[in-house]
Chains A and B, each alone.
Chain A
Amino acid sequence: MPEAAFLEVIGLTKVYRGGWGLHDVNLTLPRGTIAALGGPNGSGKSTFLRCVAGLARSEGDVRLDGELLGRTPGPRAAIGYLPQSVAMPEASTIGEVLDFFAALRGADRRDLPLPDGFVRADEDRIGELSGGQRHRVALAVALLGHPKLLLLDEPVANLDEEGRTAFWRMLRKLRDDEGVTSVVSSPSPSELRGVADRAIHLDDGRLHRVEDLTESADVTDIAPHPDTNADLEACS
């Protein structure tokens, strides 16, 4: 019996002036999945995440737990989004940044599923942090309010080994304990081996293949399959 769809992407298409950003992408993910979003530079990984998050205009539908993600803000409370790069105001403290986003979400910012010490002290200013430490703050923002869907654009790019380990452990825990679904982009999806349940491979804005990693552990084995818009349900 197929698992119930949690994230449904139907005919997602994004056209830029220079060509396709995404071309008729169809995808279904069940609740509690960690999906590795792979593909070469410019393949549409960030565009896919931004379209699903409602940050870029696109054609097609995105449904979350059956509810259409449109212009209304309500359903977005279930989404935590991390852009590939973000520069927060340097004069702000970590506490102020977390307070700000927690207030926007109506969330309790002390209720973060991160290990102690993952983010530095509240009173530290953003301008005093290294790139990796700033990235940790942005990750904490994406996790505010217990989102049910995490859209993370290269979340570990700036993290050290310890930070990566802590982050992957946290992602698995969220999946196992709370049924959180995550779509995690990475230029090297093999890094997600042992973490991700599914691998989604994009190339030139097209969904080439979706692989069930619970059966095949090597994400890099994904081979391009032109003109195929795979449905994850078919793989599971």
Chain B
Amino acid sequence: MRAATAPSPTRVIASWEYRNAVRARWVLTMAAVFGLLCVAVTLLAFRTVRELGLTGIGPASATLVNLGVLLPSLMGLLLGAGSLAGSREQGMLAMICAQPLRRSQVATGAFLGLTGSLWTTLGIGFGCAMLIMAGVARGSDVPALVTLIGATLGVAATSVAVGVAISALVGSRVQAISFAVGLWIVLSLGVDLALAALAPSIHLGPAGLLGAILLNPLEAGRILALLGTNFQGTALGPFGAYLIATFGKVGTVALLVGDLAAWTAAPLLVARWALPRRDL
């Protein structure tokens, strides 16, 4: 019988996953790489700003956008994909699920712990960049930075959720990692390349444009991050420009935040549904 004051299994598993993830060598390496890249792109952007005689952090944060969407999404997918599948292969998942808890709590705990560890990693990377930016940042730059960090954290959570769902669905860790990498390539590059190749032959109407954005959480996150840095600029791309023209700034932010939330909740629900149906 569980003690009345015992922490919930979800919380216990989240703490366990968090601790194991932040200790993992490859996660530490990725965190260091992310931090160094953040510092590097920030310094390079400031050099350009100074050479142009400009002030503010806009160019620096704009260069951080792609970094903040691409690398965290890959890390999140890999973390999530390796979680349940790896634990299952090691026999740990069987030992955990033999305890008095619901397997859906295991999936949720894994998601929360891994998301927390990834957010910690991103916080360190962004923290390094912020230290450099602090000297030149203006008050008006704060919303841009908040938007950038919020969008990055959102994309990270989404990626972990998708990874955990993959992990709950496939048979082995290798399969899960392969699916995750494949999905990341499709979402980060494949969709844009496919649209560029098909653009001359197909005409994407408003519904097609909206669908292309909402079905790709990386694109949604990228546009969301850019909204704070270059609201009126061309950096938003055709998808971003379409959203702004159709829904306005507030509507676009709400739509993209909702899209990322849905992309996080739906895979998590899939993982919570699939895990109890697996033999361990």
CB pair A104 B276 closer than 8 Å:
no
Q: How far, in Å, is A97 (CB) from chain B's closest CB?
A: 9
List B contacts of A101 (CB < 8 A): 95-96, 99
One of A57, A89, A96 near B279 (C-beta < 8 A) = A57
Distance of B156 from chain A, by nearest CB (Å): 22
Given A77-B2, A83-B95, are A104 and B90 neighbors across the interface (CB < 8 Å)?
A: no
**Given A53-B98, A103-B12, residue A88 in contact with residue B92 (CB < 8 A):** yes
Q: Collect the chain B residues with CB atoms within 8 Å of residue A83's CB.
A: 91, 94-95
Chain A residues, CB < 8 A from B101? 73, 104
Would you call B92 and A86 a contact (CB within 8 A)? yes
Are B97's CB and A55's CB within 8 A? yes
Residues of B within 8 A of A216 (CB): none
- Within 1-43 of B, Cβ neighbours of A (below 8 Å) are at 1-3, 6-7, 9, 12-13, 16, 19-20, 23-24
Q: Confirm or deny: B277 has a beta carbon within 8 angstroms of a beta carbon on chain A.
A: yes
A55 and B280 contacting across the interface, CB-CB below 8 Å: yes
Q: Is the CB of A79 within 8 A of B98?
A: yes
Within 8 Å CB of A82, what residues of B? 95
Contact A57 B277 (CB under 8 A): yes
What does the 1/0 interface line of A48-71 toward B look like (CB < 8 Å)? 001001111100000000000001
Contact A54 B98, beta carbon cutoff 8 Å: yes
Chain A residues within an 8 Å CB radius of B92: 86-89
Most buried by A among B92, B100, B101, B102: B100
Contact indicator B98/A103 (Cβ below 8 Å): no
Among B78-114, those with CB < 8 Å from A are 90-92, 94-102
Q: Are A76 and B100 in contact (CB under 8 A)?
A: yes
Query: Size class of A's contact patch?
Result: 20 to 34
Q: Which residue of the partner chain B has the closest CB to A73?
A: B100
Contacts of A50 in B (CB 8 A): 94, 279-280
The 6 tightest CB contacts between A and B, nearest first, are: A106-B2, A86-B91, A106-B6, A81-B98, A87-B90, A77-B100
- CB contacts (< 8 Å) of A54 on chain B: these are 97-98
Q: Which of A71, A85, A104 contacts B96 (CB 8 A)?
A: A104
Smallest beta-carbon distance B150→chain A, Å = 31
**Residues in B whose Cβ lies below 8 Å from that of A138:** 95
Residues of A contacting B102 with CB < 8 Å?
71, 73
Within 8 A of B (CB), among A115-145: 138, 141
A69 CB → nearest B CB, Å? 11
Complex CA distance for A66 and B276, rounded to whole angstroms: 24
Give me the interface of A with B, judged by CB distance under 8 Å: 50, 53-57, 71, 73-77, 79-89, 91-92, 96, 100-101, 103-106, 138, 141
A–B pairs, 24, beta carbons within 8 Å: A50-B94, A50-B279, A56-B279, A71-B276, A73-B100, A73-B102, A81-B94, A83-B95, A84-B91, A86-B91, A87-B91, A88-B92, A89-B23, A91-B20, A96-B19, A100-B12, A100-B16, A101-B96, A103-B7, A104-B9, A104-B100, A106-B1, A106-B2, A141-B95
CA of A50 to CA of B92 in the docked complex: distance in angstroms?
13
Most chain B CB within 10 A, of A57, A81, A103, is at: A103
**Contact between chains at A77 and B91 (CB < 8 Å):** no
User: Could you tell me the distance between the alpha carbons of A80 and B20 in the complex, rounded to whole angstroms?
Assistant: 24
Report B-chain residues with C-beta under 8 Å of the C-beta of A96: 19
- Which residues of the partner chain A approach B20 to less than 8 Å between Cβ atoms? 89, 91-92
Least distance between A4 CB and chain B CB atoms (Å) = 21
Q: Name which residue of chain B comes closest to A89, CB basis.
A: B20
| Chain B, Cβ-Cβ closest to A51 | B279
Judging by beta carbons under 8 Å apart, are A76 and B98 in contact?
yes
Q: Nearest Cβ distance between residue A104 and chain B, in whole angstroms?
A: 4
In the assembly, what is the distance between CA of A205 and CA of B19, in Å? 40
Most buried by B among A73, A85, A88: A73
Q: In the complex, which residues of chain B have a beta carbon less than 8 angstroms from the beta carbon of A92?
A: 19-20
Question: Is B16's CB under 8 angstroms from A91's CB?
Answer: no
Known: A56-B279, A73-B100. 15 other contacts (CB 8 A): A53-B98, A54-B98, A55-B94, A55-B98, A55-B279, A75-B100, A77-B1, A79-B98, A80-B98, A83-B95, A89-B20, A91-B23, A91-B24, A101-B96, A105-B2
What's the nearest-Cβ distance from chain A to residue B147, in Å?
36
8 Å CB contact of A103 from B6, B23, B91, B277: B6
